[in-house]
Amino acid sequence: MLADCLWTLVKTEYDNYRIYLVDNASSDGSPQWAKQNYPQIELISSQQNLGYAGGCNLGIRSTTEEYIVLLNNDTEVKPDWLSQLASELDRDDTVAAAQPKILWLKDRSLFDYSGGAGGMMDIYGFPYCLGRLFDDKEKDLGQYDGGAKDIFWASGSASIYRRSVLDKVGLLDQDFFMHMEEIDLAWRMHLAGHRVIAVPGSIIYHLSGGSLPAGNFRKMYLNHRNSLLMLWKNYSPASLIWIWPLRLSLEMTAFVKALLSGNLEWARAIVQAGLWMAENPRLVWKKHREVQKLRAASDSRIRAKMYQGSIAVKYFLQGKRTANQL
């Protein structure tokens, strides 16, 4: 995967960019292979696996450029992908982050699971994408093309960030380890009064699940736990009073569904996520207080950027399969 990624990445048509490869304590010799075959890249090494969030943060802290792109190693890019993203940040300084259109590497006619044409979210903390609802991926027929458009979150698979905003709102939360850390970061950007956009003219291809496949217990656990933690960090107490009970009812519904379908690993992941929240109230409340200091926008203003209902209800009970049907 890394070889294919670098083969396309070095063909990027942009006047001034550098490639940094973060070695997150790998043991297969891939960083050394990459440096030997692409001597222009710069290696940033960690002695331990810091997770996705920690590895990205190490890369950000080890560099100085004003624009930072986080790019997974299971991606391939088109030559003009970076210029399309950077030009949008050049043009509008209210934009803190932007993501490209992300298509599936195995079938380039389909949107990729991890980002699609832009990350969205409902008010209960369930993420989805333009081009993907839960496991249903749409064909790319140009339905989300056009100019840059506002979204809620930019995919960690491939997105550009403005360093000055990261300096203000903080980096990825390393306690998330992996999954939803980029959504939490985008929420903080909204809290601070910034925008996040999708740039459909920039195109990359991504192999979702290349590092951790769907159905893996750790992946399910982190998705549930991090979503709950994200709600507590970013919503005000006034919002949590009515949002939290409704979200818990959705968690219970998912737990019952997992049991009825015989997916005991999923059921266990939901329980473990809830237990972690119950066992760490001081940490959760500390994070909440720190994030609320960033607030320059009200919850009602931020919720206006979300889907106002439950995408889980729309998908599982009403049979909706695309973002355009919501």
CA 101, 125, 212, 133 torsion: positive or negative? negative
Q: List helix spans (H) across 47-91.
A: 51-61, 81-91
Q: Quick one: pLDDT at residue 157?
A: 95
CA distance 246 to 107: 37
55-61 CB contacts, 8 Å cutoff, 24+ apart: 55/22, 55/24, 56/22, 56/156, 56/171, 56/172, 57/171, 57/172, 57/174, 58/22, 58/24, 59/20, 59/22, 60/163, 60/166, 60/171, 61/171
> What single-letter amino acid sits at 269?
A
Domains along the chain with CATH numbers = 65-326 (3.90.550)
3-state DSSP helix/strand/coil % of the chain, to nearest 5: 45, 20, 35
Contact between 269 and 217 under an 8 Å Cβ cutoff? The reply is: yes
Asked whether residue 213 carries a pLDDT value surpassing 70, the answer given is no
The size of the chain, in residues, is: 326
Structure tokens at 32: 């050394």
- Read out DSSP for 80-111? THHHHHHHHHHH-TTEEEEEEEEEESS-TTBB
CA distance 101 to 74: 15
Q: Quick one: pLDDT at residue 128?
A: 97
> What single-letter amino acid sits at 273?
A
pTM: 0.96
Coil vs helix vs strand at 251: helix
Residue range 182-210, pLDDT digits in tens: 999 999 999 999 999 999 999 999 998 65
Residue keyed to tokens 């986080």: 70
Residue range 41-93, pLDDT digits in tens: 999 999 999 989 999 999 999 999 999 999 999 999 999 999 999 999 999 99
Q: Which of 137, 156, 2, 164 is nearest to 70 (CA)?
A: 156
Q: Quick one: pLDDT at residue 110?
A: 97
Q: Quick one: pLDDT at residue 211?
A: 59
Residues 6+ positions from 283 with CB-CB distance below 8 Å: 175
